[in-house]
Chain A
């Protein structure tokens, strides 16, 4: 089993930042939001849970069904979801893609 490399994480972070930028612009008309690994969905991006449902669809469109955001969040406590960072999602996506590759 290989471990995710920094490059994988950088690429996935760039993808997810792109999805979030588009979502924030579509829903809230925001176009100047900085997104990094430590950015939180709730406090920093002010996303509501229904926005995360939209994000789940965008992630599935981008990566296929091996990235299951609903299942990922369903395994968390409510407080963990409130504190969720972009970095934690990036790690989950990298892990899911590696797992799918390893078959």
Chain B
């Protein structure tokens, strides 16, 4: 297991690359979602195909998640972007990277691109959105429910989840309850600094949005396409928020098409 010390804390990192000794064509950084998620959502889905296609794949566990350190505080969006920035510095990944984020991970990835436009070759938002005032209010509501209905009433909540959503989800919820109870995450995220529309518009690299057709987030498509200078979106019918793990082949294929397109455009420009 590879642990990288960012200077602030230790993050669990996994890397995959082309197996045949070829030099990687580009680096793609995969950022997972909140509470029940970890880098495993990429490791066993799209990452092997990305590596086989010639990419250097960097996956890491956000602070508090998976095998990374669990500090009791420091969970604002800016803290997460600082961690990503420090991690890429430590890994000596200096050139522009393709950023992919699932759910909250997409908000982190987009925030990184907004902070460092020259370091982002593309951004993929899977069931995700940039941090806006509306995003903050929505996340605040979700996290309040996590605290009150799950973290502080864990036994009842887990019994219900076990009966209605299955054993696996109940076990993941248990880890989420612990993180919510033992850290400032649920307070920090809604208190995060958000982006103005001008700052969102200033992300000029290609952005791909991927949404489940049955997810509320698919309603963001017209707004994103209107706001961003270079944006395309894909809605995958029959899926909700878990589209990455449930339709990994489809989602991964769209991301590879985006990355290939950026590389072809760069080749033409040279």
Measured CB to CB, the residues of B under 8 A from A are 1, 14, 16, 19, 38-41, 43-49, 61, 66-67, 167-168, 171-172, 175, 245-246, 248
CB of B75 to closest CB in A, whole Å: 19
Q: Are B44 and A73 in contact (CB under 8 A)?
A: yes
Tell me the bound Cα distance from A81 to B40 in angstroms. Answer: 12
Q: Are A74 and B45 in contact (CB under 8 A)?
A: yes
A54 CB contacts on chain B under 8 angstroms: 1, 67
Is A36 close to B, CB under 8 A? Answer: no
CB of B218 to closest CB in A, whole Å: 21
Tell me the bound Cα distance from A71 to B252 in angstroms. Answer: 14
B48 CB contacts on chain A under 8 angstroms: 68, 70-71, 74
Please name the residue on chain B nearest to A68 by beta carbon: B48
Tell me the bound Cα distance from A50 to B67 in angstroms. Answer: 7
Interface residue count on the A side (C-beta < 8 Å): 20
CB of A51 to closest CB in B, whole Å: 9
In the complex with contacts A53-B14, A57-B1, A74-B49 CB distance below 8 A: yes
Write the A70-85 contact mask toward B (1 if CB under 8 angstroms, else 0). 1101100010011000
CB of B210 to closest CB in A, whole Å: 17
Please name the residue on chain B nearest to A47 by beta carbon: B171
Please name the residue on chain B nearest to A27 by beta carbon: B67
- A70's partner among B43, B66, B246 (CB-CB below 8 A) is B43
Given contacts A53-B38, A54-B67, list 12 more A-B pairs with CB under 8 A: A42-B167, A42-B168, A50-B40, A50-B66, A52-B44, A53-B39, A53-B40, A54-B1, A70-B47, A74-B46, A74-B48, A74-B49
Please provide the chain A residues from 42 to 58 with a CB less than 8 Å away from any CB of chain B in the complex. 42-43, 46, 48-50, 52-54, 56-57
- In the assembled complex, 17 residue pairs joining A and B whose CB atoms fall closer than 8 Å, in A order, are A42-B167, A43-B167, A48-B38, A49-B38, A49-B44, A50-B38, A50-B61, A53-B38, A53-B39, A53-B43, A53-B67, A54-B67, A65-B19, A68-B48, A74-B44, A74-B46, A74-B49
In the complex with contacts A42-B168, A70-B48, A49-B41 CB distance below 8 A: yes
B167 CB contacts on chain A under 8 angstroms: 42-43
Please provide the chain A residues from 30 to 48 with a CB less than 8 Å away from any CB of chain B in the complex. 42-43, 46, 48
Q: Are B14 and A78 in contact (CB under 8 A)?
A: no
Closest 6 CB pairs of A and B: A49-B40, A73-B44, A71-B48, A50-B38, A50-B66, A74-B48
Q: Are B40 and A52 in contact (CB under 8 A)?
A: yes
CB of A74 to closest CB in B, whole Å: 5
Q: Are A48 and B172 in contact (CB under 8 A)?
A: yes
Please name the residue on chain B nearest to A51 by beta carbon: B40
Tell me the bound Cα distance from A73 to B168 in angstroms. Answer: 17
Tell me the bound Cα distance from A68 to B171 in angstroms. Answer: 26
- B44's partner among A42, A43, A81 (CB-CB below 8 A) is A81
Tell me the bound Cα distance from A43 to B49 in angstroms. Answer: 28
Tell me the bound Cα distance from A43 to B44 in angstroms. Answer: 19
Please name the residue on chain A nearest to B249 by beta carbon: A74
CB of A98 to closest CB in B, whole Å: 19
- B248's partner among A48, A53, A74 (CB-CB below 8 A) is A74
B246 CB contacts on chain A under 8 angstroms: 78
